[in-house]
Copies of this chain bind each other. A is one copy, B any other.
Amino acid sequence: MKGKVTALLTANYDIVKIEKGTIVTPKGFSAAGLHSGVKKQRNDLGAIFCNVPASVASVYTLNKMQAAPLKVTKESIAKEKKIQAIVVNSGNANACTGKQGLEDAYAMRKAAAKKFNIPEHYAAVASTGVIGLQMPMDKILSGISQLNPEQTNESAEQFNEAIITTDLVTKSTCYQAQINGRPVTIAGSAKGSGMIKPNMATMLGFVTTDAAIESDILQLALKEVTDQTFNRITVDGDTSTNDMVTVMASGQAENELLHPSHPEWQVFVQLLRQTCEDLAKMIARDGEGATKLIEVEVKGALNDEDAGKIAKAVVGSPLVKTAVYGTDANWGRIIAAVGYSEAVIDPESIHMFVGPIQMLRDSQPLPFSEEEATAYLENHEVKFTIDLQIGEGYGKAWGCDLTYDYVRINASYRS
């Protein structure tokens, strides 16, 4: 019943997780993070630096009110399709800040270029935090001058801390595989955690790899992988003004240039996919106020796109999210979300499972033990499986429960 995506996801490409790996594990990269004063106490400014101009790929929020740093980063990348440094601040999104905001984003880029002694278009910038406040540029510029990227896990963790906002934990992952007999390493760092919804969100992702690959090809891979990972997570259905995922590739693994015709192309895609899926799930699990990770798996849909639509509708339903929080096996809400997902369904042919417990067979409700269902929903990871039985479409999505803490956090974010 499973479609081509599954086959890809479950295939074994001898990919190894590097438990202690960070964004500086791939060859060529260093990182830094510090407290510049935008936020009260925690790190709020970070940088990733590559010792050569790196190939680059980047995807951005679909929100039409794109923040100033996104415009500047796009300009940098457009010029030569190479970048060497990314500077990121948290605490202020530099979004909806008008002309001043755009000038500030340029000033941030200029300061980064000066600090790292690179052309301006080799520097990218990103911001996350409150919307609509002007940037405290004195602090940002002074902070940039103090950034000293190093190739240590400690400096990577300083960067990871510098990019988070309401996240409770930092998020990073690292994998390695052999390509052309050489170890190729990839790693990522990300931040969540509200305004998270398919098509990017208040989400920043930074991926480093030492793979040798040209920017256009890297962009192809990133696009494909983003649709199956970052665009499959939902925290609250809001899509932010600031989000981007950027991949830098140093080429220092010295594999033969990657390309879809390379015999080990899928190994690289899988490295990138696993990295992005790890980060996406970490973001969902650490959604604002979340206590649980929800995974929705859809099989038997008309096509993969429809499967994705359904998985996202279920994982995004506030009623499903509150029921999971309350360990209430109110499966009717799951089916209601399937029904409004806009995917093609046959209302009479649906199988549905809450964890291992089948609730619907051919759309007929089955008797089940409330105790058993409640016990299942007390897990920190819960899974719903839906089989539409009309095709081969397959897809997953991830989200989190909706809790009192989500309301608490967001009722007073700025204070």
Contacts and interface: CB of A to CB of B under 8 A. Distances in A.
A132 B365 contact: yes
A195 B413 contact: no
A239 B336 contact: yes
Contacts of A133: 332, 365
A269 interface: no
A217 interface: no
Contacts of A194: 319
A14 to B, nearest CB: 40
Interface residues of A, number: 62
B413 A339 contact: no
Interface in A386-415: 402-404, 406-408, 410-415
Contacts of A97: 365
A348 to B, nearest CB: 9
Copies of this chain present in the complex amount to: 2
Contact of A332 (B93, B338, B345, B359): B93
Max count, chain B CB within 10 A of own CB: residue among A97, A131, A240 = A131
B132 A331 contact: yes
A317 B202 CA distance: 14
A294 interface: no
Nearest to A132: B332
Interface in A97-117: 97-99
Nearest to A370: B414
Contacts of A332: 93, 95-96, 130-133, 241
A320 B402 CA distance: 16
B413 A317 contact: no
A148 interface: no
Interface stretch (A5-13, A47-55, A171-179, A321-329): A321-329
Given A99-B364, A132-B331, A336 B241 contact: yes
Contacts of A195: 319, 336
A98 B347 CA distance: 10
A322 B410 CA distance: 6
A173 B26 CA distance: 67
A326 B412 contact: yes
B328 A65 contact: no
A360 B96 CA distance: 9
A86 B56 CA distance: 63
A334 B376 CA distance: 38
A337 interface: yes
A266 interface: no
Contacts of A412: 326, 328
A175 to B, nearest CB: 32
Contact of A404 (B130, B239, B338, B404): B404
Interface in A41-98: 62-66, 93, 95-98
A332 to B, nearest CB: 2
A363 interface: yes
B411 A363 contact: no
A335 interface: yes
Contact of A407 (B63, B99, B134, B322): B322
B404 A330 contact: no
A2 interface: no
Contacts of A402: 407, 410
Top 9 A-B residue pairs of the complex, sorted by shortest distance between their CB atoms: A131-B332, A326-B411, A65-B339, A322-B410, A132-B332, A98-B364, A63-B339, A239-B340, A236-B318
20 contacts: A63-B339, A64-B345, A64-B347, A96-B336, A132-B330, A132-B359, A194-B319, A195-B336, A236-B319, A237-B237, A237-B316, A238-B317, A238-B333, A238-B340, A241-B339, A318-B410, A330-B413, A402-B407, A404-B404, A406-B407
Given A62-B340, A64-B340, A404-B408, 10 more contacts: A63-B340, A95-B332, A96-B335, A97-B365, A132-B332, A133-B332, A237-B237, A238-B317, A238-B336, A318-B406
